Amino acid sequence: RMSRHAQQLRDHDINPCVAETDASRKCMDDHNYNKDMCTAYFLKYKSCRKFWHDVMMQRRRNGVKPEMPSAEERRKMLESMG
């Protein structure tokens, strides 16, 4: 059984970067933990985290709840951006 924290990290409504996390982890597994081989995955993960953190901070400043949009709401936001 996963810890509560681990479950939250897997929850698409809480963690907007589950796919990027999984891709980075898979890359590391596939390349015997040679970080140099996975730089692109790390950058994607980092930019995902930064983007959604900025969205969350803006929503917090504007008093929008929940601060992190749901997975469905995020999907619509990304689609509207092209």
Residue ranges of domains in the chain: 4-80
Question: Would you state the structure tokens that stand for residue 66, as one six-digit string?
Answer: 């929940």
Q: Which of 56, 29, 54 is nearest to 41 (CA)?
A: 29
pLDDT averaged over every residue in the chain: 94
Binned at pLDDT 50, 70 and 90, residue 17 comes out as very high
Q: For 45, how many CA atoms within 13 A lie in the half-sphere containing its CB?
A: 16
Residue 23 has pLDDT above 80, yes or no: yes
Q: Which two tokens stand for residue 52?
A: 């959604």
pTM: 0.84
CA R_g for the chain:
15
